[in-house]
C-alpha cells in the first residue's frame, strides 16, 4: 500500500497540502469549469487512494464472513477486521475491546440511548440496573448539539419520564459553564455533549464537563465526530464514559464508525440491536449475550469499510495529527482574517482566543445561505448551507440557516484565497450591498 505523499521536511510551515491533494482523486476534477475547492469536509471528507485501495484489496483478496466459518478466507477476513479494530481503537487511545463498530455516529448515539432505555425496563445483567432512569431523572445536553446528539436523548426522555435539560451557549459560541455547573446536579444521570460543534468549530471544555458529571455520578457521552479527523484524540485521557465518531468524516468509507466505551461501562450496558453474532447460547425462549464489543455488533458488520477506515487512520497518522491540526488552524485563521474584512459577513462562534478546529459558519447579510451556496458552487467552491442538522443552535443565534466552510488536511492557501475572493462578490452580485 502506498503511503501519503508526505512533504520531505518536518520544518514548521512545510506542510505540503498540494502534494497530499494528489492522493485524493476526486479533487483533480473541475466543477462548473473551475478548479474544485472542497470546503465541505465537516459534512463528509474526501477519501484518499490508499483507503479505496485497502477496501479494494480486501474485497478482491480476503472477502468472507468474519467470526464464523472454518475456511481460510474467513480467517483472513477476521484477521483484517480485528486488525482494523486495533488500529482504529489505538487512534483514539483505546484498547480493541473498547471499540464497537457502528454504521456511524448516529447509530452509536442511538445505540447508547436505546441500551439505557433497555436497562430502564430491566433488561440486561444485574449490573445494567445502574443505567436505569426514573421519572424526574435528568439528561443534560447542550444548546449546540447536532441533531444526532439531541433527538436520541429526547426520545429516551420521552420513553422513561426523564427530563432533558440544555447547557446554554454564550453569544460568542462558548458554552455557559456557570450554567453547566448549576444544571448538572443530583438528578443528572447523563451528560451528552459534543467535543467540537459542527457549526461553531470551537473545542469544548471536555475535562471540565466530565468533572462536573463525575462529581454527581452521571454518565458522560461525547460526540467526537468533528474532532477525530482534526486533532489528536485520547478518549480515556479525556475521561468520558462513551464517545462516538464517524468514519466518513475522517477520510474513511461510508457506513462505518466507532463507539468507544470505558470497559466497565460497556460491560454493564445491555445490547440495543440483537440477533446473530452477539450471542453465547440461544434457545427458542431466550439468549445469552457475548461480552463487548461483540454484544453491540449484531448482524453482519461493515467489514470492508472497517478495513478502509483503518487505512484512513494510518493515512492520518502518517501525516501526523498535530501537523494536520496546525495546518487546518492556520488556514482557518487565514479564512477568519479574510472574512472579517468583508462587509455584511457575520461569523458564528467568533470567540476571541477560543481553541478551534478549521471551520467557519457565517451569515451573509441580505443574502439567503442557499443563494450564497449556489453562487459559490458556480465558482467551483463546495460549502454547506442550511442549518447543518443543528436547527436549535441556529434559532439561538436568530437565524434559520448559515453558510459553512470546513477544512481538511488537503485544503491549501489557494483554496482559502479563492473562497475569500468569491465570498467578497456575493453581496454585490445579489445587490445586498446597496
Ligand atoms: C457533530 C456531529 N455529530 C454527529 C453527526 C452525525 O454523523 P453521521 O451522520 O455520520 O452518523 C455529525 C454529522 O454531520 C456531526 O457533525
What is the whole-number distance in angstroms between the Cα of residue 146 and the centre of ligand 1?
A: 7
pLDDT at 80: 98
* Predicted local distance difference test score (pLDDT) of residue 68: 78
Ligand 1: lining residues by beta carbon, under 6 Å: 43, 104-106, 146, 148-149, 194, 198, 223, 225-226, 246, 248, 389
For residue 13, the model assigns a pLDDT of 52
pLDDT at 62 over 50: yes
Q: Which of 151, 186, 148, 185 is nearest to 167 (CA)?
A: 185
Per-residue confidence (pLDDT) for residue 404, from 0 to 100: 98
Question: Do residues 98 and 242 lie in contact, with contact meaning Cβ atoms separated by under 8 Å?
Answer: no
- State phi, psi for 405 to the nearest 5 degrees: -110, 120
Instruction: Work out the mean pLDDT of the chain and round it to a whole number.
Output: 96
Average of pLDDT values for 232-260?
A: 98
End-to-end CA distance of the chain: 56
pTM of the entire predicted model: 0.96
Pocket test for ligand 1, best of 357, 361, 389 (most atoms within 8 A of CB): 389
pLDDT tens-digit map of 334-391: 999 999 999 999 999 999 999 999 999 999 999 999 999 999 999 999 999 999 999 9
Helix and strand numbers (H, E) in the chain are 15, 17
Residue 101 pairs in a beta bridge with: 258
- β-bridge mates for residue 35, sequence order: 30
311 C-alpha to ligand 1 centroid (Å): 21
Question: How does pLDDT run across 146-203, given as a tens digit for each residue?
Answer: 999 999 999 999 999 999 999 999 999 999 999 999 999 999 999 999 999 999 999 9
Q: Locate 406 and state its grid cell.
A: 470546513
CA distance 297 to 332: 38
Among 42, 101, 106, say which to mutate for ligand 1: greatest number of ligand atoms within 8 Å of CB.
Answer: 106
- Expressed in angstroms and rounded, the spacing between residue 105 Cα and the centre of ligand 1 is 6
CA of 109 to the centre of ligand 1 (A): 10
The pLDDT of 297-310, averaged and rounded, is 97
Closest CA to 276 of 293, 295, 299: 299
Probe residue for ligand 1, chosen from 110, 148, 256, 386 as the CB with the greatest number of ligand atoms within 8 Å:
148
DSSP state of 247: G
CA of 196, closest atom in ligand 1: 1
C-alpha cell at 336: 477568519
Query: 31, exposed or middle or buried, with CB in 10 Å at 0-12, 13-18, 19+?
Result: middle
264 phi/psi in degrees, rounded to 5 = -70, -25
Atom 16 of ligand 1: nearest residue by CA position: 198
Residue 7 has pLDDT above 80, yes or no: no
| 281 C-alpha to ligand 1 centroid (Å) | 35
Question: Which residue is closest in CA terms to ligand 1's atom 14?
Answer: 43
Among residues of the chain, what percentage have pLDDT more than 70? 97
| Residue 85 near residue 96 (C-beta atoms within 8 A) | yes
Instruction: Specify the residue for cell string 479527523.
Output: 229
| Ligand 1 atom showing the smallest separation from residue 103 Cα | 11
Q: How far apart are CA 229 and CA 248, in angstroms?
A: 10
So which residues are the catalytic ones?
389
pLDDT at 6: 45
pLDDT of residue 225: 98
Residue 278 has pLDDT above 90, yes or no: yes
Please identify, by atom number, the ligand 1 atom nearest to the C-alpha of residue 223. 3
Within 121-164, residue ranges assigned H as helices are 151-160
Average pLDDT over residues 213-219: 98
Residues whose CB falls within 8 Å of the CB of residue 59, separated by 6 or more in sequence, listed in order: 304
State residue 16's pLDDT score: 94
pLDDT at residue 301, as a whole number: 96
- How far is the centre of ligand 1, averaged over its atoms, from the C-alpha of 347 (Å)? 22
Residue 10, pLDDT score: 43
Ligand 1 atom with least separation from CA of 107: 11
- Beta strand spans in 24-102 (E): 30-31, 34-35, 37-38, 99-102
Give the Cα separation of 123 and 109 in Å (integer).
19
- What does the DSSP 8-state code read for residue 126? G
Q: Could you give the CA distance from residue 250 to residue 408 in angstroms, rounded to a whole number? A: 9
Sign of the Cα torsion 305, 149, 207, 322 reads positive
Number of neighbours of residue 421 by Cβ within 10 angstroms: 12
Amino acid at each position: 500500500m502506498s503511503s501519503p505523499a508526505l512533504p520531505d521536511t518536518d520544518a514548521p510551515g512545510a506542510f505540503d497540502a498540494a502534494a497530499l491533494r494528489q492522493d485524493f482523486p476526486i479533487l483533480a476534477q473541475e466543477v462548473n469549469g473551475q478548479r474544485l475547492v472542497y470546503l465541505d469536509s465537516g459534512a463528509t471528507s474526501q477519501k484518499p487512494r490508499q483507503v479505496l485501495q485497502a477496501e479494494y484489496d480486501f474485497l478482491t483478496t480476503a472477502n468472507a464472513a468474519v467470526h464464523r466459518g472454518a475456511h481460510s478466507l474467513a480467517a483472513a477476513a477476521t484477521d483484517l477486521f480485528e486488525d482494523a479494530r486495533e488500529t482504529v481503537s489505538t487512534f483514539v487511545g483505546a484498547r480493541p475491546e473498547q471499540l464497537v463498530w457502528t454504521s456511524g455516529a448516529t447509530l452509536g448515539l442511538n445505540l447508547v440511548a436505546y441500551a439505557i432505555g433497555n436497562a430502564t425496563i430491566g433488561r440486561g445483567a444485574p449490573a445494567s440496573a445502574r443505567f436505569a432512569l426514573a421519572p424526574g431523572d435528568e439528561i443534560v445536553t447542550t444548546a449546540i448539539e447536532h441533531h444526532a446528539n439531541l433527538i436520541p436523548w429526547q426520545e429516551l426522555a420521552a420513553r422513561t419520564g426523564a427530563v432533558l435539560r440544555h447547557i446554554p451557549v454564550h453569544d460568542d459560541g462558548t458554552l455557559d459553564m456557570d450554567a453547566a455547573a448549576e444544571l448538572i446536579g443530583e438528578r443528572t444521570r447523563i451528560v451528552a455533549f459534543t467535543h467540537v460543534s459542527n457549526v461553531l468549530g470551537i473545542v469544548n471544555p471536555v475535562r471540565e464537563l466530565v468533572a462536573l458529571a463525575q462529581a454527581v455520578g452521571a454518565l458522560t457521552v461525547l460526540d467526537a465526530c468533528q474532532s477525530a479527523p482534526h486533532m489528536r484524540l485520547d478518549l480515556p485521557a479525556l475521561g468520558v464514559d462513551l464517545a462516538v465518531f464517524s468514519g466518513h468524516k475522517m477520510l474513511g468509507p461510508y457506513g462505518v464508525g466507532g463507539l468507544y466505551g470505558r470497559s466497565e461501562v460497556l460491560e454493564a450496558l445491555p445490547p440495543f440491536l440483537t440477533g446473530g453474532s452477539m450471542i453465547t447460547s440461544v434457545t427458542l425462549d431466550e439468549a445469552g449475550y457475548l461480552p463487548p464489543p461483540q454484544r453491540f455488533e449484531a448482524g453482519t458488520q461493515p467489514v470492508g469499510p472497517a478495513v478502509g477506515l483503518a487505512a484512513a487512520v494510518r493515512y492520518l497518522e502518517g501525516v501526523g495529527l498535530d501537523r494536520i491540526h496546525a495546518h487546518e488552524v492556520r488556514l482557518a485563521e487565514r479564512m477568519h482574517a479574510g472574512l472579517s474584512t468583508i462587509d455584511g459577513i457575520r461569523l458564528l462562534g467568533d470567540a476571541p482566543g477560543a481553541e478551534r478546529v478549521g471551520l467557519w459558519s457565517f451569515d451573509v447579510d441580505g443574502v439567503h445561505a442557499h443563494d450564497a451556496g449556489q453562487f459559490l458552487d458556480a465558482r467551483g467552491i463546495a460549502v454547506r448551507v442550511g442549518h447543518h442538522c443543528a436547527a436549535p443552535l441556529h434559532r439561538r443565534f436568530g437565524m434559520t440557516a448559515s453558510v459553512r466552510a470546513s477544512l481538511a488536511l488537503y485544503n491549501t492557501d489557494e483554496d482559502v484565497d479563492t473562497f475569500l475572493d468569491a465570498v467578497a462578490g456575493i453581496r454585490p452580485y445579489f445587490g445586498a450591498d446597496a
